[in-house]
Amino acid sequence: MSGSGTNLQVLIDSPDIRPHIRLVVSDRPGAVALSRAEKAGIPTAQVRWEQHGARDEFSAAVAEVIESHGAEGVVLAGFMRILSAGFVDRFPGRILNIHPSLLPAFPGANAVESALDHGVKVTGVTVHFVDEKVDHGPIIAQEPVEVFEGDTVDSLHARIQRVEHVLYPRIVRSLVQDRLAIEHGLASA
């Protein structure tokens, strides 16, 4: 997590998912996500980019703290750092990300703004396995979200997040129940 952690909150609030959350990691000390975890009694850790400075070292430190808490999978939600290929290899087929567009359209940090700038009429949400590229990797699930006239980044993102909060628990549930896999480069659920 790097930010507000609304997706984390819906995972915490899912009684069948909550017991599987071993740790919440953030790269930002003030991340609201950390206080959500603390309130729920979930261990937290901070791994600061500045303390490592290079992607491989930073990613290794994140992987070590995750493994030291006995976690076997990783669920990214608004994590604003790119993790190394070595990190991806340590959790094969067990790293998820959620992205506020219908990938492969609009990867990157400004997906909602880019969708508006392009005048698309439908955007959406993607949950995918993470690989070493940004907002890339086998797509597990997608949901469309209509763009309304007069939408702003905030109004559209709010509607996208309502969809995220239903979709992500569904897919994370499949992850903890070991029902997700990658076969021939494609996700199966």
Residue closer to ligand GRF (CB basis): 54 or 118: 118
**Count of other CB atoms within 10 angstroms of residue 4:** 15
Residue with tokens 């740790």: 23
Four-residue CA torsion sign, 57, 91, 183, 187: negative
The residues binding ligand GRF (CB under 6 A) are 3-7, 77-78, 98-100, 161, 164
Residue closer to ligand GRF (CB basis): 7 or 14: 7
Give the residue closest to ligand GRF by C-beta.
78
Minimum distance between the CB of residue 7 and ligand GRF, rounded to whole angstroms?
Answer: 3
Minimum distance between the CB of residue 83 and ligand GRF, rounded to whole angstroms?
Answer: 14
Catalytic residue among 69, 99, 128, 136: 99
Tell me the C-alpha distance between 130 and 88, whole Å: 7
Instruction: Read off the DSSP letter of residue 84.
Output: P
Residue 99 designated active-site: yes
Cα of 122 vs its chain's centroid, Å: 21
Q: Could you list the active site residues?
A: 99
